Each structure stands twice: as structure tokens, then as C-alpha cells.
Structure 1
Amino acid sequence: MEILSWTVFAIAVPAVIFAGISKGGFGSGVAFASASILALVLEPRLALGLMLPLLMLIDVSSLPSYWKLWDWPAARALLIGAVPGTLIGAVFFAVADADLIRLLIGLVAVGFVLWQLARSLGLIKLGTRRVGPLGGAVAGVGLGFTSFISHAGGPVAAVYLLGQGLSKTAYQATTVLVFWAVNLMKVGIYGGMGVFTRETLLLGLGLAPFALIGTWLGIKAHHRVSERLFFGITYVALTLTGSKLIWDALT
């Protein structure tokens, strides 16, 4: 599908607003759903290239609201691992074809929903034992890898951070800081690999106001909106889009 079309724009607007709400108020864990949605109508690399500058804009606009409220030891552990994880993701990204990337994005989306279902059923328990810096670095490797290939580092970060006993605001602030730094690492590599195009940058410019609107809504919703409602809607969307991407990749 042509990237500069009203159809893509109509799908991208709610996806970008959703990413802003997620990153601005709900810990970034499901912001990758926006890339999953766009990958339904765009070649995966174009979808990722379109979203990265917008995610960076969201990071910058939300960072002041959580300035120095983060847990630095937890953020440092994740960032130490994120550097090699990002490089591994870049190597994979360079050799993988579109269907393989589409399949991986779909598997991450569906796998995240299954992981959350297992948590709700008590099959997986987090927060009962504090994980040390080494565990954080290992999680950081997974964060860097999944973030590079699908903007889906949030769930990996959540596995580690939810075991640190952080407050809701400290958790949110830590994710904002970590992904601001990780996205800065990614942008240079994406640029060198030709992921950004004139069309993605032009469309991203048109979508920038919606990213800011979503961020503002997310910051406001952080203390006012039920997380259960927000994530419930998100899990349905992730299941549908992830399943469609897997089907498309395999067929």
C-alpha cells in the first residue's frame, strides 16, 4: 500500500495517539501495538521507520513530567544490557526478510497477551523477589533486541521492573528514561540502514501533533484512568493484530 495515502493516515492517527497514551501514562509496555497495527498495512520496516521518530517525540515530551522520579539503579542495569541487545537486533534486522520480521512482531504481540493471561491466572508471579543488577542487564539485552526489531521492548522491561517493587510513578518514570536512551541509540542505526524514507518522514511530520495529543492524554490519564480498562482494550487489539501478522507471514 502507498504510504502517503489517506487510508494509511486514517489508520496511523489512532495508532499514534494510542502510542502517546501508553508511553505517556502507562509504562510503555504496550506502545508497540502501534507498530503492529501499522505493519498490517505497511511493509514492516516502513512501519518501524515511521514510528521511531514519533516515539522519540513522545519520549521527549513526557520526560519533563517524570524528571528525576525514576529509579536510577534499575534504569542503569537495563541500559547496560540494552547496548549489546540493540546491536544484536541490528544484525538480525539486516538479514531478516519482511515476512520474518512480520512473524516476529506478531509472535511478540500474541506472546505478550498470553504472558499477561498467565500472570492474571497466577501461573507467573512477579514482585515476590527483587532481581539484582545482573538480572536487569540480561533483561536489558532482551529489551534492546525486541525494541530494535519491533519497538516492543516494553514488555521485557516490565518483567524486570515489576520485580523491583517500584511505585507506579517511579515505574513510569524509569521506562520513560530507558526508552528515551534506547531510541536515541536506534535512530542512528536505522538511519544508516535506510529504514527512514522521504515518505515516512513526511507522514511522521503530519502525525506529530497526534503523538503530542496522545502523550498529553496519557500523562493526564496516569492518575485518573483505570489501568484494567486501558490494558483490556489493548490486549484485544494485540491479539487481533498479532494473529493477522502471523497469518500473513506464514501464508
Structure 2
Amino acid sequence: MISDPFFYLCAIPAVLIFGMAKGGFGGGVSVISVPLISLAVSPVQAASILLPILIVMDGVALWSFRGRWDSANLRIIIPGAILGIFLGSLSFHFFSEHMIRILIGSIAVIFCLDYWFRPVLAAAGPSVLRGGFWGTIAGFTSFGIHAGGPPISIYLLPQRMEKTRLMGTMAVFFAVVNLIKLLPYGLQGNLATQNLFTALVLMPLAPIGVRLGYFLLHKVDEKQIYRICYFFLFIVGLKLLGDGFGLW
């Protein structure tokens, strides 16, 4: 397993943040997790270590939000995600490490800008066209860097569902997505022994993060947490873009 202290300095908060987001607190800021761990290891290894941990988180999230999800939306976005995972499994090995850092950094920065400047629109409803498109994008970005949250949020958030129903829908969606990703990850050799043992060390943080997020969902002013997380996500995104383009 990885023994570098700097790795765990990055990985421990990354896992807790991802878990809290799955528990309903912090929303799409889980996208910061892979960029944060990528400061210590390659983006591919960061994603590989996180996948088994995410599956444990998904189980806790499904139990926490049991029975509270939108079946109509799931029937639209899950087939799109399966297509996106398939496309990702065929194409991601063509991406260099620099290209992946640029992709992660771009998603992080764009997601922050979307959060800060998106206009408030009238509530939307389920759409096969929009849901299929964003579901596919979410499956593709989730396959490579576990960044399916921003694309699927762009589709689901404008519907303004009740908070627990929204999080329950996301819990089912990502539980299905992450289980499907196990097959191509295994076939591509990403679930190597070092990655699995490192994931096992971090695994106890998974239920802690999810249950902490579920508890804080109704206890803390989320707006302040969002502002802080998005600020740091923006900074990390810029750092990865700079690394990818060789600016520093």
C-alpha cells in the first residue's frame, strides 16, 4: 500500500468530502476529491483507489435515503450513464496524464463558474433528451475521474426536487454507475494490489463521511460550506490546469 504521508494528507480529507457529499452535504463539491488526491499520485491511480471506497459509500447512502428517489428520472439517466461508461472505457487509455489533469482541472473550474454565475431559472421537469445527454456525460466523466456529479447536477438541480429525494436519486444513480465501472477498471488493471490495500486503509472513513454529511444536512448552514469548498475547488482546478499545460 502507499506509505507516503503527503498522500494521506490529501486522501483523508478527499474521502471525507466525497462521503459527506454522498450524505447530502456539500453537493457537487465531491469533484474536488480526485483533483486533491492527484496532487500526490497520478489521476488514474487516484480514481482507482477511490472506486472501492465509493462503492461502500454508495451502500451507506442507499440505506440513508432508502425509498426516497425519483424513478422517472432514473429510467432516463441510467441508460445514458451506461453508454457514457462504455465510451469512457474505450477512450480513456488514449489520454495522457497531462490531458487527464487538464480535463479534471477544466471540470473543476467550469463547475465553480457554473455555480457562481448560473442564472436562476424556472423549475424544469424530467426530459429524455436532456437527461440522456447529461447522463451520458456523467457516465463518461465518472468512469475516468469520478466526476459525474457536476453533469448530473446540471440536469437534476433545475428540477428543484425536495433535498432528500434529490440525494436519494443521486445515491441510486451512482450506486449503479460505480458497480458497472468495476468491470472495465478490473479489465484495465486499475484494481492492482497496491491500490486495493490503500483503499482498504481508507475504507473506514467511507461510512463516517456519509453519515456525517447526512447529519449535517439539516444542522449546518450549507451556504458557508459551499463557498469555502468551491473556493478551494477553484484553486485546485487552476493548479491542475497549470500542471497539465506545464505552466509551473
TM-score range, shorter chain: over 0.9
Structure 1 portions without partners, runs of 5+: none
Q: Once structures 1 and 2 are overlaid, which stretch shifts more, 43-52 or 225-234?
A: 225-234
Give the match for residue 41 of structure 1.
Answer: 40
Q: TM-score, normalised by structure 1?
A: 0.93
Give the match for residue 189 of structure 2.
Answer: 194
Cα deviation, residue 164, structure 1:
2.3
Could you tell me which of 151, 159, 165 is aligned with 1:164? 159
Cα deviation, residue 130, structure 1:
2.3
Give the match for residue 209 of structure 2.
Answer: 214
Identical-pair percentage: 36
Look up the equivalent residue of 2:5 and give its one-letter code.
W
Q: TM-score, normalised by structure 2?
A: 0.94
CA distance in 2, matches of 1:162, 1:127: 11
SS of aligned partner of 1:32: helix
Q: Once structures 1 and 2 are overlaid, which stretch shifts more, 221-230 or 32-41?
A: 221-230
Look up the equivalent residue of 1:98 and give its one-letter code.
E
Give the match for residue 127 of structure 2.
Answer: 132
CA distance in 2, matches of 1:203, 1:126: 43
Question: Given that residues 31 and 150 in structure 2 are in contact (C-alpha distance below 8 angstroms), is that contact kept between their aligned partners in structure 1?
Answer: no
Cα deviation, residue 60, structure 1:
0.7
Q: Once structures 1 and 2 are overlaid, which stretch shifts more, 159-168 or 19-28?
A: 19-28
Q: Once structures 1 and 2 are overlaid, which stretch shifts more, 90-99 or 172-181?
A: 90-99
Cα deviation, residue 37, structure 1:
0.1
Look up the equivalent residue of 1:139 and give its one-letter code.
W
CA distance in 2, matches of 1:27, 1:37: 16
CA distance in 1, matches of 2:133, 2:235: 30
RMSD across aligned C-alpha pairs, in angstroms? Answer: 1.5
Look up the equivalent residue of 1:183 and give its one-letter code.
N
CA distance in 1, matches of 2:79, 2:201: 34
Cα deviation, residue 32, structure 1:
2.2
Cα deviation, residue 138, structure 1:
1.2
Question: Given that residues 131 and 163 in structure 1 are in contact (C-alpha distance below 8 angstroms), is that contact kept between their aligned partners in structure 2?
Answer: no
SS of aligned partner of 1:141: helix
CA distance in 2, matches of 1:28, 1:56: 18
Deviation readout 1:19-75 (Å, 9 max, x if unpaired): 111111237522121111001111111000011111111111121111110011111
Alignment of 1:49-68 (within 5 A): 49-68=48-67
1:129–1:9 distance in 2 versus 1, CA, 3 Å: closer
Give the match for residue 109 of structure 1.
Answer: 108
Is 1:118 aligned with 2:86? no
Structure 2 portions without partners, runs of 5+: none
Give the match for residue 19 of structure 2.
Answer: 20
Is 1:81 aligned with 2:77? no
Give the match for residue 240 of structure 1.
Answer: 235
Look up the equivalent residue of 2:132 and give its one-letter code.
A
Could you tell me which of 200, 204, 219 is aligned with 1:205? 200
CA distance in 1, matches of 2:29, 2:134: 17
CA distance in 2, matches of 1:126, 1:189: 38
1:201–1:207 distance in 2 versus 1, CA, 3 Å: same
Give the match for residue 96 of structure 1.
Answer: 95
1:27–1:164 distance in 2 versus 1, CA, 3 Å: farther
Aligned length: 246
Give the match for residue 223 of structure 1.
Answer: 218
